[in-house]
Amino acid sequence: MERENVGKRFLEITPELQSFIEEQSLFFVGSAPLSANGHVNVSPKGLDTFRVLGPRRVAYLDLTGSGNETAAHVMENERLTIMFCAFSGPPKIVRLYCRARVVAHGSQEWPSLIEQFPSHSGRRQVIVGNVEFVQTSCGYAVPEMKLVSQRKTLTRWAEVKGDEGLVEYRRTHNRVSLDALETPVTDASE
């Protein structure tokens, strides 16, 4: 029996792939340190925080959370994979393999990037990815699910903390990764 080729590789985000990406309510980011003893990090993201800036350039708004692993890994080695997965409709997975960088609050690029996103409490940094290639795969084993709603828990948590509380939280909880890598946390409030 001949195997069907269910995946394709692209040099950039095509208009069809961009449409698929923009329809997804959830995406995942994957990163890892250079150390063989380091920890691979996979993190789900939502809340309308992803943007395609061009065929080979993407960005996502990174909100204050329990860790800051992706930023630490990107600062060390620039490697980032972003995955989108269809949970309804035809099965499909799209992975963006990127060289990325962190744009911190207060940097020269911040104003032009932050205007691309909705205003969220707890904005920490923007991760910008330069797409090296895109790969699709089938997603045949991914279950079909329905989005009930976006959770408001992170937003409410950040609002309760307030600007000063978020600065203190980032200072005490987001300065180093699990593998003791430095992160770009600034003391700036929004």
Q: Evaluate if residue 1 carries a pLDDT over 70.
A: no
What range does the domain containing 54 cover?
Answer: 8-140+149-173
What is the DSSP secondary-structure string of 28-42? EEEE--SSTTSPPEE
Considering the domain boundaries, does residue 183 fall inside one? no
Query: Residue 58 sits in a domain of what CATH number?
Result: 2.30.110.10
How crowded is the C-beta side of 148, counted as CA atoms within 13 Å? 2
Contact 130, 102 (CB under 8 A): no
Summarised one tens digit per residue, pLDDT across range 124-183 is: 999 999 999 999 999 999 999 999 999 999 999 999 999 999 999 999 999 999 999 999
Residue 186 lies in a domain: no
Strands 93-104 and 123-137: what pairing? antiparallel
In DSSP terms, 101 is beta-bridged to 128
In a domain, 182, yes or no: no
Whether 111 and 55 have beta carbons less than 8 Å apart is answered as no
How many domains does the structure of the chain reveal?
1
pTM (predicted TM-score)? 0.94
Tens-place pLDDT, residues 40-80: 999 999 999 999 999 999 999 999 999 999 999 999 999 99
**Helices marked H in 43-137:** 69-77, 110-114
The verdict on residue 181 lying in a domain is no
